Amino acid sequence: MQHRKRLPVALLVAALTAVSLGAPGLVLAQATIVIDVLDGPDEGFNDPGAPDPTSAAGGNTGATLGAQRFIAFGHAADIWAGLLDSSQAIVVGATFDPQPCDATTADLGAAGTNTVHRDFTGAPVVNTWYPAALANALAGADLAPGLADIDAFFNSAIDDATCAFPKVWYYGLDGSPPAGTIDFVSVVLHELGHGLGFQTFVDLGTGAKLNNFDDVFMLWLENHSTGELYPEMTDGARVSASVDSGNLHWIGPDVVALSDGLTLGRHPSGHVEMYAPDPQNPGSSISHFSTSLSPDELMEPSFTAAIHDVGLAAALMQDLGWSASSLPRTTIGQTAGAPLSDGGGGGNCFIAAMTGSLDIAR
């Protein structure tokens, strides 16, 4: 039995204030994120336990622990929804269940797109996988009706006395987690980033493309030491690039245009380092910014501090094809050697189940 609760996260306040900026040509960013709670009664997001007073002091007024979790999730969803445009509701299937944790490490959460799509009407690049939320936005239609666009999982054991991990979740909304806590809003923000498109579908172990098609994330991945881009590499070369620390780069124009705020992790060309540890870190390699970046970015693979600003991830979403009209952007022209489709054709939409990456706290 699964209890389903759907709550649209609207952005009326953000929309109203954006109008008054008066910037020429400014169009409001507006997406709606629907949180589809898949927990059972009395657990996870429905946990009837007492609210955490520390989180309450941080602005989370939920009357129960489950309510606090849900409110914090909604706060993070609001941040993304205020940055991206889509006519289609972005549905996130969310659960909060016990997952692995021990005295030194704990899985925090995982998320990814639920389905992938290619060659739909409106697809900017042919023969290329798009995550569901982005594909829906580009198509102006729900390409997988009845299915969540993003699946997200979070570890409830972190709040549990049976888990030896010394930190607990902080559900405050103020980005000020006390010592000994992990900022849940930051983790949700990060995981939603994966679900919205910050992930490759390449098989990390073999370097193989998903069903032999490019994904939109890989179009901007470069091995700077060879100059090759991910789509044109052999499977073996992709595996090599995935462990080429410092040389696996994001070269999308929107990220490059804004990367000069980085003092570390940025090539003089503006290319930004991606996470490519040797040996690979399954579930984390490639689909994150490098841990070498400074200042720290939200989409690095592990958390050291609360971050409620999606930072360069917003520009990366634009490189993927998201419309994010409230942000500065460059014009996306030709992508990495792939011809731009005229959007004609349609049909031929392929859907495959995906799982997301798993993120770990230390």
**Cα 352 to the chain's mean position, in Å?**
19
Q: Closest CB to Zn ion among 136 and 287?
A: 287
Read off the tokens for 46.
């429905």
Query: How far apart are the C-alpha atoms of 348 and 147, rounded to whole Å?
Result: 18
Q: Judge whether 50 and 71 are in contact, CB under 8 Å.
A: no
Q: At what angle do helices 65-81 and 184-196 cross, to 10 degrees?
A: 50
Using DSSP, state whether 274 is helix, strand or coil.
Answer: strand
Q: Closest CB to Zn ion among 3 and 224?
A: 224
Q: Which residues lie near Zn ion (CB under 5 A)?
A: 222, 224, 249, 271, 359
* Angle, alpha carbons 190-193-194 (nearest 5°): 100
Q: What share of the chain is helix, strand, coil (3-state, %, to 5)?
A: 25, 20, 55
Q: Closest CB to Zn ion among 118 and 249?
A: 249
Q: Closest CB to Zn ion among 40 and 270?
A: 270
* Angle, alpha carbons 68-74-76 (nearest 5°): 110
* DSSP output for 99-144: --B-SS-EEEEEEEESBEE-S-TT-SBTTEEEEHHHHHHHHTS-SS
For residue 88, report the phi and psi dihedrals to the nearest 5 degrees: -105, 130
**Closest distance to Zn ion from the beta carbon of 53 (Å):** 30
**Closest distance to Zn ion from the beta carbon of 287 (Å):** 7
**Closest distance to Zn ion from the beta carbon of 196 (Å):** 12
**Closest distance to Zn ion from the beta carbon of 204 (Å):** 14
Q: Closest CB to Zn ion among 40 and 283?
A: 283
Q: What stretch of H or E contains 14?
A: helix 12-19
Q: Closest CB to Zn ion among 144 and 274?
A: 274
**Closest distance to Zn ion from the beta carbon of 288 (Å):** 5
**Closest distance to Zn ion from the beta carbon of 12 (Å):** 30
**Closest distance to Zn ion from the beta carbon of 180 (Å):** 22
Q: Closest CB to Zn ion among 96 and 303?
A: 303
Query: How far apart are the C-alpha atoms of 155 and 358, rounded to whole Å?
Result: 11
